[in-house]
Amino acid sequence: MNLRAFFSTFQRDVLAGTVVFLVALPLCLGIANASGVEPFAGLVSGIVGGLVVAVLSGSRLSVSGPAAGLVVIVVDGIAQLGSFSAFLAAVLLSGMIQFGFGMLKAGRFAAYVPSPVIKGMLAAIGILLIVKQFPLALGLFGGQAAANAPTAAQAAGTILAPFGSVSLVACAITLLSLAILIGWETRAMRRFALVRMVPAPLAVVLLGIGATLLLHMLAPSIAPAAEHRVALPPLESFAALGVALEWADFGPHFAQLVNPDVWRVAITLAIVASLETLLSLEAVEQIDPERRPAPPDRELKAQGVGNLIAGAIGGLPITSVIVRSSANVHAGAQSRLSAIIHGVLLLVSVFALTSVINLIPLSCLAAILIFTGLKLAKPSLFVAIAKQGFAPFAPFIVTLVGVLATDLLIGIVLGILCSVLLALYANLRRPIVLAQHGDHYLLSFRKDVSFLGKVPLKHYLQQIPDGATLIVDATRADFVDHDVRELLDTFVADAPGRGIAVEVRHQVRAQARAARGWSMRRAATE
């Protein structure tokens, strides 16, 4: 690569990294807020995703950070384990498990998870995101839907609803934010250069900051209060950063590693994060103009190291994220440098942009996540899968209901079991067919026959009368169970005594005929 080409690539990576940073910043804050943890935890994960995972990853365009799809696990995990510090131990363990997946070359096994199960999982996550963000979207701080009547300080700009005190300003900001997010993707809006240059989440954040500043000047009584905005602690040095990360206090939390509940959460995190990462890699490969594949096992190792570090220093779990990755591709990224630059900018923002970040209303971030949930659980997805038939729709619904009723891991397992049962039913349904023409009978093995085929075979053989002719066609079966073959051999051995003529056509004969036909076609061609 010559010097001119190098600077051209570097320039495009810097631009793409800046765009991804502008997309990632509100998402990191919003996901942390939705998870019920400090906003700093989301930024830590974004920084680790940019400075650690991007360096170790084999993907040139994938961008990692906290994912909206893991919010449900984070919220449930913290509730089950009783503290965020115990959950951090689960994040650390999940990183070790993911690294083990990569060492065992388990990346290829993700392809065996049925597509309806994955879609059902994502749809359930979308529904949960929408439901959990409604309190913030309405200005119900802390999700206290049963809040008491507003106090005198809260009365301005609020109305008392049956489920609590609703902030009219928060509702207005939420609606405007959703309108921007929806309109930003329309063809009419994409005609404007400004729309193409500014990511939609950034536009929403700028709207929220502008509304906060404007209302504080014109109507302070109804401006978003501090508790309804992002609360990022000011950091003036790397020493302050170390205190914020609580490195010195994490040691005692290693005692949590012997807690079986921590292991359960860790396994759930490792499986779901690995699935989401591998799905994101496939999606990035599809939108990459050069179609450059990424080694899945190396990616699992990189994600494992990232989650291990994130858990150790107080961050949320990390995955490869399609929203940031697609923004990276569309911004013209050429290499992993763009993802690294996005991580550097997130780190700089922690020191330089704290006062600006703290002006962002939580209702803005709630709108971003509600929009994400709507995209994951859009009604057209349900319609499209329903049109495909019962076989894909059943595991989709089972996974969706399972996740909503229990948790992610159980929902995924239930969906996979449903898919397996439907596949078994399809393969076991009438594997053997009996046809009759006069005193001639044709017993056809239409597919592989397991031990369960013994019952219908016995039933059919009992229908063969004395003196008949039976043709057994097994050319389409690559596998016939021992019990089935034994039952058929017994019938063939007893057939002469009943005057029954039996002809058995095996797979070997079919293969020999196919080989002869291929040889004849080849000779004719030559």
**Residue 126 confidence (pLDDT):** 85
Q: pLDDT tens, 52-77?
A: 999 999 888 899 999 887 888 899 99
Position with higher pLDDT, 243 vs 9: 9
pLDDT band at 365 (very low <50, low <70, confident <90, very high): confident
Distance CA 174, CA 228 (A): 13
277 contacts: CB under 8 Å, gap ≥ 6: 64, 299, 300, 303, 319, 320
Looking at this protein, which amino acid is placed at residue 420?
V
**Residue 149 confidence (pLDDT):** 40
Looking at this protein, which amino acid is placed at residue 449?
V
Please check whether residue 204 is in contact with residue 182, taking contact to mean a CB–CB distance below 8 angstroms: no
**Residue 399 confidence (pLDDT):** 92
**Residue 16 confidence (pLDDT):** 85
pLDDT band at 281 (very low <50, low <70, confident <90, very high): confident
φ/ψ bin of 198: left (φ > 0), alpha (ψ from -120 to 50), beta (otherwise): beta
Q: pLDDT tens, 465-501?
A: 999 999 998 888 888 888 888 998 999 999 999 999 9
Percent of the chain at pLDDT exceeding 70? 87
Question: Does pLDDT of 28 surpass 50?
Answer: yes
Question: Does pLDDT of 216 surpass 70?
Answer: yes
**Residue 239 confidence (pLDDT):** 53
Distance CA 16, CA 18 (A): 5
Spell out the domains of the chain, with CATH numbers in brackets.
3-418 (no CATH), 432-525 (3.30.750.24)
Question: Does pLDDT of 518 surpass 60?
Answer: no
Residue-wise burial string across 337-350, b where 16 or more C-beta atoms lie within 10 A, e elsewhere: bbbbbbbebbbebb
Question: Does pLDDT of 415 surpass 50?
Answer: yes
As a whole number, mean pLDDT of residues 407-423 equals: 87
Cα angle: 302, vertex 307, 309; to 5 degrees: 95
- Alpha carbons within 13 A on the beta-carbon side of 524: 6
Question: Does pLDDT of 182 surpass 50?
Answer: yes
Lowest average pLDDT, out of 142-156, 272-286, 290-304, goes to 142-156
Q: pLDDT tens, 452-461?
A: 788 888 889 9
Lowest average pLDDT, out of 205-209, 267-271, 513-517, goes to 513-517
By C-alpha distance, which of 357, 270, 315, 296 is closest to 96? 270
Question: Does pLDDT of 393 surpass 50?
Answer: yes
As a whole number, mean pLDDT of residues 23-36 equals: 87
**Residue 155 confidence (pLDDT):** 47
Looking at this protein, which amino acid is placed at residue 469?
T
As a whole number, mean pLDDT of residues 216-230 equals: 85
Please check whether residue 164 is in contact with residue 149, taking contact to mean a CB–CB distance below 8 angstroms: no
pLDDT band at 219 (very low <50, low <70, confident <90, very high): confident
Q: Cβ–Cβ contacts within 10 Å for residue 382, how many?
A: 16
Q: pLDDT tens, 301-356?
A: 999 999 999 998 889 999 998 778 888 887 788 889 999 999 999 999 888 888 88
Question: Does pLDDT of 143 surpass 70?
Answer: no
pLDDT band at 507 (very low <50, low <70, confident <90, very high): low
φ/ψ bin of 385: left (φ > 0), alpha (ψ from -120 to 50), beta (otherwise): alpha
Question: Does pLDDT of 145 surpass 50?
Answer: no
**Residue 154 confidence (pLDDT):** 46
440 DSSP β-pair partners: 437, 469
- Here the tokens at position 86 are 């115990």
Question: Does pLDDT of 525 surpass 60?
Answer: no
Question: Does pLDDT of 146 surpass 60?
Answer: no
Average pLDDT, the chain: 82
**Residue 83 confidence (pLDDT):** 86
**Residue 153 confidence (pLDDT):** 42
pLDDT band at 524 (very low <50, low <70, confident <90, very high): very low
Position with higher pLDDT, 121 vs 244: 121
pLDDT band at 33 (very low <50, low <70, confident <90, very high): confident
